[in-house]
Amino acid sequence: MSAALDLTPEQRAIANGARGEGAGMAMRIVAATARLMGAPSLIPIVSAHIDGALYHGDSGTLFAEKLVEGSAKVAVRATLNVGSLDLTGCSKNRLEPHERGMARRMMDAYRTLGCEPTWTCAPYQAGHRPALGSDVAWGESNAVVFCNSVLGARTNRYGDFLDIACAIAGYAPYYGFHRPENRRARVVFDVSGLDSAFLASEVAWPILGSLFGRELGDAVGVVAGIAEHPGEDALKAFGAAAASAGAVGLFHVAGVTPEAPDLATALHNQKPESIITVTSDMIKDSRRRLSTAAGTEKIDAVAIGSPHLSGAEFDRLEALIAGRHLNVPLYACTGRHALTALESSGRRQSLEKTGVVIVADTCVVVTPILPDVSNAVLMTNSGKFAHYAPGNTGYGVIYGSMAECVESAVLGRPVFEAA
């Protein structure tokens, strides 16, 4: 049996209201969670990323407002994940008036608590990059896996509304990925037998991530056989797909990610529990699984940007469109950090003239932005969109590269490059 939770005098004082009732409630939530998880203590955190500001019902709004009423303020830097509304006005959604009002109240409450209105699922692209080895409390599955894997900071998957409770308390339970021994890779995911051209392509990483997530579930694995650093956008896509298809919170890539300078270090110099040798047939099957509407001759929309598009991805999108008119709307989801750069250079207007619909502060899978069309089909280059769109939007999905998505939007039908 785990030892009883040991709170410090300061933590007990906060729980008893020394910093106000809101902070007291937050600390009591964190302590209760620690007891449930068998954590022996709480540890200080340096930042948080809050996923709980997305409206799923009135109770979430009322919870946030209860914290505000208790004069709570975040004790550490806290960025905000997407909300249900695009407050920039770039896009419109179809929320009913009551839901719209409660969603806005929720977003306002989190700002009042002292959170930064970043409204992005990729805070690491907006300057929120905690240091290697630091302890944080992040929510949102792709943000969590990127933070753990690519940045090497330490976080568990903090869900609604534990994330804001940790941010206000300034502490998190000491368990899971905060403990160094739990960050050891136990499974080797060997891709050395795959074609190097495929591994160098953009399309590879959501496919590999989806396979990784299905094969490993919530286990920690290390990808072996990558010759060159694929870039942060590729790792972002891999982690997002792995966290969606499975419950991956941490992965390593030998020779690439900070806790895996080599395979042995990722394994903590122990033998792996299993080795998965990835074959081309496994890749074909993984790609097939990302499409639920394969074989259709029409598409109704294209959506990219889950996780949110980076500046480099907008550069590529603009080059692929090359000023052509899109016959199918292309929804490009991004954060304010990227939108500001587009607006300052005048590129937002040029993209919108071609038929791109920029979506900021939110995305098309978490709030009703896509048109309400029967038997509609969405094309995407996002493994995360491919996983969630059918259930969340009712759209069937076709997966393709960004280049294939753009060509399909131009022609109004699915277009695929020759293999």
316: tokens are: 């590529």
Domain locations in the chain as residue ranges: 9-181, 184-289, 301-411
pLDDT number for residue 1 = 41
pLDDT number for residue 2 = 53
Mean pLDDT by 10 residues, the chain (419 residues): 83 98 98 98 98 96 98 98 97 96 98 98 98 98 98 97 98 98 98 96 96 98 96 98 97 98 98 98 98 94 98 98 97 97 96 98 97 96 97 97 98 86
Write the CATH number of the domain with boundaries 9-181. Answer: 3.30.499.10
In CATH, 301-411 is 3.40.50.1820: no
pLDDT number for residue 417 = 85
pLDDT number for residue 313 = 98
pLDDT number for residue 419 = 52
